[in-house]
Amino acid sequence: MRLHELASLAGVVAPKGLEELEITGVASLQEARPGDITFFGNPRYLSQLRVSKASAAIVPADFAEELGLILLRVENPAAVFAVVVAAFAPQEVPPHVGIHHSASVAASARIGDGVSVGPLAVIEEGAEIGDGSVIGSGCLIGRDVRLGKNCHLYPGAIIRERCILGERVILQPGAVIGSCGFGYELKEGRHVKIPQTGIVEIGDDVEVGANTTIDRARFGRTVIGEGSKIDNLVQIAHNVQIGAHSILCSQVGIAGSTRVGSYVTLAGQVGLAGHIEIGDKAVIGAQSGLSKNVPPESFVIGAPAKPIKEWKQSNFYISQLGKLYERVRELEEEVKNSKS
């Protein structure tokens, strides 16, 4: 593509005299070569930008430094670069509309217009598939499941009986919706399974990552609010409720009946105990463990989690223990010598 075409995608004007420069690909700061366009959005990578071999870079609007490559200054470099990457990406092959001959579709299932059902997919009795949805190979849609319009289930995704998905929901490969909640009672020395009779309900525009599991409720509903995005390898237990537009990063684990508000961020490997509440717009730092409620708009981190200012202070004090130990030894020697 020509530079002026990419600049147009970025919402800016290409530098004069360089409008026809040919850009042949996209790459990271370190991997870029002449002909590539890259992006810079985090100050920690400034040194990489300065030595990058890219022909052009998308940078923040307030980036003042002049470098040996063409700079396209924009308000949101990451978002603009995503558009540029899409322009260079291979065109996706649209799925074949219709039901593959090897798929198993129950007679009572209702299949909307323009639906694609891939090889070896199974759609059980009473299921409803919304218009324009794509059911990948090897997917299982259980009895009486309701699936909204324009959903996309990648190969191997499973939705168990009676669960409800809104419109434009994406399930990555291996996602399991509606598995049994982890509930047992100890009776006469044995763990006896407690029936899990509820469902999972997922709102519009939710994406669920690969091999993520969302358990059905013991009774009632496990709920994922509209627009929330869930990464790979996340475990959400029975009767959990997650609000709208929250972000759950990889390896998050949420125990039963916990409530997570809207616009919450749970960073990687966060663990939440059961029956607690996380307020709207809270941020939970990576590898944090929580057993208590978190107020709205808080930023907590650590195990056990604490406000980030307190956490930083605690870490500073811990880092000084070695010096403190040595100082105490010196004082002890001074006292001992003074007595002798």
CA distances (Å), 316 to each of 124, 138, 284, 322, in order? 58, 52, 20, 12
Q: Is 191 an active-site residue?
A: no
pLDDT tens, residue by residue, 14-26: 888 888 999 999 9
**Can you give the C-alpha Rg of the chain in angstroms?**
27
pLDDT of residue 203: 98
We find that the CATH architecture of domain 3-88 is: 3-Layer(aba) Sandwich (3.40)
Q: How many whole angstroms from its chain centre is CA 201?
A: 18
Q: Name the fold adopted by 98-309.
A: UDP N-Acetylglucosamine Acyltransferase; domain 1 (2.160.10)
End-to-end distance of the chain based on CA atoms, in angstroms?
Answer: 85
pLDDT tens, residue by residue, 295-327: 999 999 999 999 999 999 999 999 999 999 999
pLDDT tens, residue by residue, 240-255: 999 999 999 999 999 9
* Whole-angstrom distance, CA of residue 140 vs CA of residue 51: 50
pTM of the model: 0.87
Marked catalytic residue, from 100, 191, 238, 245:
238
